[in-house]
Amino acid sequence: MATANIPLLALTCGEPAGIGPELAVMLVADEVPSARLVAVGDPALLAERAALLGRRVEVRVLTPDEPVPAPRRGVLPVWPVALRAPSQPGRLEPANAGHVLETLDVAIAACLSGHAAGMVTTPLHKGVILDAGHVGFTGHTEYLRDACGMKEVVMMLATDSALHARGPGMLALRVALATTHLPLREVADAITAPRLERLLRILYADLQRWFGVVAPRIAVCGLNPHAGEGGHLGREELDVIIPTLEGLRAEGLALDGPLPADTLFTPRHLEGVDAVLAMYHDQGLPVLKYAGFGRAANITLGLPLVRTSVDHGTALDLAGTGRADLGSLRVAVALAAQMAGRSTTTPA
């Protein structure tokens, strides 16, 4: 395949004290990546981490105008973003928060300009970014939403067997979230009829756009235990969720629910379902991670660009040990390449 036909993906290295930099190094040291990858991070840090792990990797610094070569084992092209302060594995340094955000800005700009076909992110540390004074920062998903000028986006995780239009059984899961990084006491107020409608429209459209699902079927969780038990355990289902689903069904969207989450995530209810919409973070993601932790990826839907990520955090305790698991990064890269292949543009 010609180099220009292999998707170019910008891989941000995340929190420098975490496992993100070594995941980038390990991926190219151990195998030929499934896409043209260019890391966005500090070249010296990546070279140091490669040496620490005993991996033979050529860290090749590129300018934005230089072509990114075809994927090759042992070669890691890099768009350089300098650290603000020295970094050691496992030790957070608030001074490097600006570095982390700059890597995101570089990758976002490359995608929006058409230079890159998509971006894959490794974990950042929300706490240290907040400690550094970036007030209101809540994570990758919301940062990308604001940077791209979008009113609403959807966070969805998918296991590796769900990368195709439909997969068998519980291991083929796509779980989207109606709310993301919110305290639990704020979740109910965040689920309004207009917002829920927007989220479902984005989920439906992007299942068609990026996954080739012609007529998506989406199962929707209730917010309360037993989906509210007819209003006896909360009225959000009666007042918000059910009317919203009924309105969208009248337009032809295939929506099941609201269903109690403890019964929705069973083989019988998941049969033929293309995605599940959970109402909050810890309602849907524990099930998905139990079914496929390390074999799942995070996707941001509703953006004008392709963005995937790993399904785990910075793992500060593993940083520098070489024991980080590449599984989720492999899935995130493969998924971003698949999604980019459906794009109508052909980045350089």
Task: Determine if residue 60 is labeled as part of a ligand binding site.
Answer: no
Task: Determine if residue 217 is labeled as part of a ligand binding site.
Answer: no
Q: 175 - beta bridge partners?
A: 157, 276
Task: Determine if residue 307 is labeled as part of a ligand binding site.
Answer: yes
Instruction: Select from 118, 172, 39 the least CA-distant residue to 299.
Output: 118
Task: Determine if residue 96 is labeled as part of a ligand binding site.
Answer: no
Task: Determine if residue 289 is labeled as part of a ligand binding site.
Answer: yes
Residue 31, token pair as written in the block? 């195998």
Query: Measured between alpha carbons, how far is 72 from 37 in angstroms, rounded to an integer?
Result: 10
Task: Determine if residue 224 is labeled as part of a ligand binding site.
Answer: no
Task: Determine if residue 181 is labeled as part of a ligand binding site.
Answer: yes
Helices (H) and strands (E) in the chain, counts: 13, 12
Q: For residues 335 and 299, is the Cβ–Cβ distance under 8 A?
A: yes
**Which residues are within 8 A (CB) of 275 and not within 5 positions of it... i.e. 6 or more apart?**
156, 174, 175, 176, 203, 207, 216, 218, 219
Does 16 sit behind a cis peptide bond, omega within 30 degrees of 0 on the bond before it?
no
Annotated binding site for a divalent metal cation: 181, 226, 281
Annotated binding site: 140-141, 181, 226, 281, 289, 298, 307
Annotated binding site for substrate: 140-141, 289, 298, 307
